[in-house]
Chain A
Amino acid sequence: MGEILVLVGHVDGSVRKQTLELLTLARRIGEPTAVFLGSGAEAATEALGRFGARRILVVDAPEISDYLVGPAVDALAQIARSVGPAAILLPSTLDGRETAARLAVRLESGLITDAVDIEAGDRGPVTEQSVFAATYQVRAHVTKGIPVITVKPNAITPEPLPTAPEVEQVIVAFSAAATAVSVLSRTPRRKSDRPALTEADIVVSGGRGVNGAENFAVIERVADALGAAVGASRAAVDAGWYPHAHQVGQTGTQVSPQLYIAAGISGAIQHRAGMQTSRTIVAVNKDPEAPIFELVDHGVVGDLFQVLPQLEKEIARRRG
């Protein structure tokens, strides 16, 4: 089996869950080699080894943080040319997708984005994607070059497989193109005790029916009772009631949790595109005709300000 390059998503060496998902998928189609860009590789080694990385290739250069995407493309392209991998897996994040796009052009290789599953096939990896607002399941494979595949976060459950990875430092000669887009500043988003939207098993979202920023506390309390992430519809975000980073939908974050609770969300197509692959869907809405009810496993036609506090109380009582 060939080597599979996996781009590690991390913040200062703290490995993101999406990477563990990529390593788990990589093991099905070959032998995973983690590509770690930036500083903090020592801190990441244990986590990468626990999920099956055979090798860790580290590129620790200031260019990685000072410039956008370009250095990552240079590093992955140079590593790919020397390793000759059977595939390259990246997370379907902003930077992951863009890195993949440029890499595919540079390596003259086919690209598949937003895979939700990967398995081995006769002609290389076979991917599964969910398209047209998740109304279709598409199976596809790359026909030319090294398959470059981006995978949606939270699509699969990471499975540990302990290894003792070899760690190698790699020196990359960066091109002029790598330093074309400078990062002037990075302002980390406010740390939250709640799980990240893309990684949460449960998401509780509020929409137009929440009717005000201060009322989002009702959503947050149910989320906290369930250990869930908080989401918001585009209407709620556009109204300024909740930060954009929490927007669920086609132009926000696409989520696929075990449980999705939509409160005061009618379910416009753009919102449904971002959540309808959730395993269990629950909605609370005053309007019995709201399209969201077409998707639900359980729907309550009612006032979210009555239903959610009661739900919160009942969760506390049951956990008593």
Chain B
Amino acid sequence: MKHVPDATADRGFHPDGTTDRESVDSLLSELDEYAVEQALKLVESGIDAEVTYLTVGPGDAKAALRKALAMGGDNAVHVSDDAIAGTDALGTSLILARAVERIGFDLVITGMASTDAAMGVVPAMLAERLGVPGVTYLDELAIEGAVVTGRREGDTATERITATLPAVVSVTDRTGEARYPSFKGIMAAKKKPLQALDLEDLGIGAEQVGLGAAWSAVDSATIRPARTRGQVVPDQGDGGTELAAFLAAQKFI
């Protein structure tokens, strides 16, 4: 899961092209809540499993883990290291892959994308690095024995897909509403184990990650000129006719 700048706030960049995470409140990426929900549902359906949350990010990213633990689950792992700042998706997938290998896993569930970078590529990269199936963008998933089956809205058709565990699965916001943490859950979360790891623990050199090792570079990030608000007129009974006149003037009719 990922701790991200609040999407409803004004987000921006530092001069080096990295995301400004200091001037905006951050929270657990909304799309990751669906992954938490699915993990908890699988356990509630009777599958004998332990749920571990994993995030990579600076100190305050622990808040995302606490939020997830408050929803349910067993423990959490926080990978943090000064050298990680500015790491891109390829580097992040490397860190996640090493961490997941160290923790051990049968199934990795992720959100479909983060709500900040919104690339949606880390789940596929993680599967590639782990050498396991990537069962992505599922609207529905089921586990039977060591087989995962799911439904996804593909590019041109609705697809039913299947793979054998261990696997990486990403789920969409259509898998079902995520639960709210209860007061009891919030209190219980404070006592759940939260393990801290750094790059050395994962056998990753500082030179392999961070802004300097990024596989792409931002040349410039400029604020788009705000759209100038055009005319907004109350409908006086001829709103549709006026709208047609506007569209005709713009050559759409």
Question: A residues within 8 Å of B by Cβ?
Answer: 9, 11, 68-69, 73, 93-98, 100-102, 104-106, 109-114, 126, 130-145, 177, 180-189, 202, 226, 244-245, 250-251, 258-259, 269-270, 273, 276, 280-282, 284, 288, 293-303, 306-315, 318-319
- B55 close to chain A: CB less than 8 A: no
Interface residues as binary, B150-165 with A (CB distance below 8 Å gives 1, 0 otherwise): 0011111111111110
Give every chain A residue within 8 A of B164 (Cβ-Cβ). 180
C-alpha gap A142/B89 in the complex (Å): 13
Chain B residues, CB < 8 A from A187: 157-159
* Contact of A143 with B217 in the complex, beta carbons under 8 Å: yes
Q: Is the CB of A100 within 8 A of B216?
A: no
16 CB-based A-B contacts, threshold 8 Å: A97-B119, A97-B121, A98-B121, A98-B134, A100-B121, A132-B116, A138-B218, A141-B217, A142-B216, A143-B217, A145-B215, A180-B134, A185-B160, A282-B246, A295-B229, A296-B229
| Cβ–Cβ < 8 Å partners of A299 in chain B | 230-233
Chain B contacts with A in 103-143, Cβ cutoff 8 A: 112, 115-122, 124-125, 127-129, 131-137
Cα A269 to Cα B30 with chains together (Å): 13
Are B239 and A306 in touch, CB under 8 angstroms?
yes
Using known A-B contacts A104-B215, A295-B227, A297-B230, determine if residue A307 contacts B121 with beta carbons closer than 8 Å.
Answer: no
A189-B157, A296-B232 known; A251 and B239 CB under 8 Å?
A: no
Contact of B174 among A102, A244, A280, A307 (CB under 8 A): A244
Q: Is B190 an interface residue (CB 8 A)?
A: no
Asked whether, in the complex, the Cβ of B124 is within 8 Å of the Cβ of A94, the reply is no
Chain A residues whose CB sits within 8 angstroms of the CB of B146 once the complex forms? none
Determine whether B13 belongs to the interface, using a CB cutoff of 8 Å to chain A: yes
A202 to B243, CA, bound (A): 15
Rounded to whole angstroms, the CA-CA distance of A101 and B19 in the bound complex is 21
Q: Inside 8 A of A284's CB, which chain B residues have their CB?
A: 239, 243
B148: nearest chain-A partner, CB-CB: A181
A242 → B minimal CB distance (Å):
14
Q: How many residues of B contact A (CB 8 A)?
A: 84
**A137–B252 alpha-carbon span in the complex (Å):** 27
Interface-side segment among B4-12, B46-54, B70-78, B194-202:
B4-12
Given A136-B224, A296-B229, A180 and B163 contact (CB-CB distance below 8 Å): yes
A306 partner, pick from B219, B223, B235, B242, beta carbons under 8 A: B235
Instruction: From B89, B112, B117, name the one whose CB has the most chain A CB atoms within 10 angstroms.
Output: B89
Pairwise interchain contact B240-A251, C-beta atoms closer than 8 A: no
- A114 and B215 alpha carbons, distance in the complex (Å): 16
Q: How far is the CB of B13 from chain A (nearest CB, A)?
A: 7
Provide the residues of chain A in CB contact with B227, threshold 8 Å. 276, 281, 294-295
- Decide yes or no whether B26 CB sits under 8 A from chain A: no
CA distance A224 to B7 in the complex (A): 34
Contact across chains for B240 and A314 when beta carbons are under 8 A apart: yes
- Contact call A226/B124, Cβ cutoff below 8 A: no
- Report the minimum CB–CB distance from B214 to chain A (whole Å): 7
CB distance from B115 to the nearest CB of A (A): 7
Known: A110-B216, A244-B153, A318-B253. A101 touches B231 (CB 8 A): no
With A104-B90, A298-B246 as given contacts, are A313 and B240 in contact (CB-CB < 8 Å)? yes
Contacts of B231 in A (CB 8 A): 298-299
A177–B130 Cα distance when bound, in Å, is: 11
Decide if B232 touches A269 in the complex (CB within 8 Å): no
> Which residues of B are found within 8 Å of A95, using beta-carbon distances?
154-155
The 8 Å CB contact of B136, one of A98, A143, A301, A318, is: A98
Q: Given A114-B119, A288-B234, A126 and B219 touching (CB < 8 A)?
A: yes
Residues of chain A within 8 A (CB-CB) of B116 are 132
A138-B221, A181-B162 known; A144 and B215 CB under 8 Å? yes
Q: Tell which of A182, A302, A314 touches B162, judged by Cβ atoms closer than 8 Å.
A: A182
B241 at the interface (CB under 8 A from A): yes
CB <8 Å contact, B128 and A101: yes
Q: Which residues of B contact A136 (CB under 8 A)?
A: 12-13, 221-224
CB of B229 within 8 A of CB of A294, answer yes
Complex contact A102–B133 (CB within 8 A): no
The reply to whether the CB of B238 lies closer than 8 angstroms to some CB of chain A is yes
Once the chains are docked, how many angstroms separate the CA of A112 from the CA of B162? 29
Q: How far is the CB of B107 from chain A (nearest CB, A)?
A: 14
Nearest CB in chain A to that of B19: its residue: A132
- Confirm or deny: B45 has a beta carbon within 8 angstroms of a beta carbon on chain A: no
8 Å CB contact of B234 from A68, A73, A142, A302: A302
In the complex the two chains form, is A226's CB within 8 Å of B252's CB?
Answer: yes
Closest to B97 in A: A105
Q: A181-B133, A259-B252, A318-B253 are in contact. List 7 more A-B contacts (CB 8 A).
A: A94-B136, A101-B125, A132-B12, A135-B223, A143-B215, A251-B172, A282-B247
A-side contacts of B230, CB under 8 Å: 296-299
In the complex, are the beta carbons of A251 and B31 less than 8 A apart? Answer: yes
Chain B residues with CB below 8 A from A97, complex form: 119-121, 124
CB–CB A184/B121 < 8 A: no
